[in-house]
Amino acid sequence: METLHLSSHDAVSFEIHAMSWIDHERHVHTESPHRHDYYVIIGVTEGTGTHIVDFQTYEVKPGSWWFLSPGQAHQLQMNGPHEGWVVSFTPDFFCVSEANRELLINTGLFHNLLEFKPYFIPPEQLDLLEPSLQSIQGEYEAKRPLREHMLRAWLQLFLVQASRTFDHQLLMVAETSKTVCLARQFQELVERDFTRKTKVSDYAELLHITPSHLNDSVKKVTGQPASEHIKQRVVLEAKRKAFFGTTSAKEIAFDLGFEDEAHFSKYFKANTGQTFTEYRKTIRNK
């Protein structure tokens, strides 16, 4: 499985394009499952199809919006003519300050691996989001002085507007802001450290709270305790690595922090019902 990198000819780690441009310029890279080392926002305004994200298949229809985090494996397959937006940016481009990093987390749009889903807005309400995208595209193409700062500012506004637009669809919206922020901080830490820290107590220590408080808070917000998030993140990464085909189970076990292959296989089977070898064989047959 190919990992795509965001390489811009003008040194700005940000892009905005129509879906038709992506189809024409990058079809060879996107026609099979792949992943990015950057954030991707896809908004479909016309057309239908399917979108496979981390081995789950979702329906694509006009008004579907997708917020993909770095590392997520996906493949978008459209049926016939289609239109939409694709916005791409690296963590380094956006997270130039702690405030921006927190904004990225607190929108609730990214890094929801266990609760991942598309968001939907009726096409007739597209004017809630499209004006910001048009402004971003104008700034991106004009290449005026301080362009990077303007792109970042417009992206901030767009993410806030998107979070407000989809707030009734975000699973976390019903909880208090303090609990939500804690759960999102935990999710970010898991994304960063899951290969090195596998216990709830590890993350509770980083967040300066007790393990029971962390488990309870995360369960209130997401419906599952913190321990389940950690386990499923490890399993998800193992599934992603299965797509590479050339990495041995022993190497993957080491990469994910297991002492040996046997321990890894037992862990994988306990959480999926299959050994890693059985799962990889199933993937290859497909």
What's residue 7's pLDDT? 67
- Which is higher by pLDDT, 168 or 68? 68
**pTM score of the predicted model:** 0.75
Both tokens assigned to 99 = 């405030």
Q: Are residues 85 and 26 in the same domain?
A: yes
pLDDT of residue 46: 92
Q: Label residue 154 by pLDDT band (50, 70, 90).
A: very high
Q: How confident is the model at residue 123 (pLDDT cuts 50, 70, 90)?
A: confident
Tell me: do 79 and 104 sit in the same domain: yes
pLDDT-derived band at 172 (thresholds 50, 70, 90) equals very low
Domain count, the chain: 2
Which of 127-136, 172-181, 186-195 is most confident? 127-136
Beta bridge pairs of residue 44: 64, 84
Q: Name the least confident of 59-68, 105-114, 128-137, 188-197.
A: 105-114
**Tell me, what's the pLDDT at 174?**
46
147 lies in the same domain as 192: no
DSSP per residue, 115-161: T---EE--GGGGGGTHHHHHHHHHHHHH--TTHHHHHHHHHHHHHHH
State how far the Cα of 107 lies from the Cα of 149, in Å rounded to an integer.
20
If asked whether residues 20 and 46 sit together in one domain, one would say yes
Phi, psi values for residue 98, rounded to 5°? -60, -35
Choice between 115 and 248, residue whose per-residue pLDDT is larger: 248
Domain boundary among 112, 140, 169: 169
Same domain, 99 and 209: no
pLDDT tens across 200-245, in order?
A: 999 999 999 999 999 998 888 777 889 988 998 899 888 888 876 6
Residue 1: predicted pLDDT:
61
Give the residue numbers spanning the domain of 222: 177-285
Q: What is the CATH number of the domain that holds 48?
A: 2.60.120.280
> To the nearest whole percent, how much of the chain has pLDDT over 70?
90
Answer yes or no: do 186 and 165 share one domain: no
> Is there a single domain that holds both residue 187 and residue 278?
yes
Tell me the mean pLDDT in the region 89-105: 85
How does DSSP assign 260-274, residue by residue? SHHHHHHHHHHHHSS
Q: Which CATH number is 266's domain given?
A: 1.10.10.60
Considering the domain architecture, whether residues 61 and 144 belong to the same structural domain is answered as yes
Residue 123 CB contacts under 8 Å (≥ 6 apart), including other chains: 45, 62, 63
The answer on 213 and 131 residing in a single domain is no
pLDDT in tens, 6-37: 765 566 789 999 988 877 766 655 667 888 88
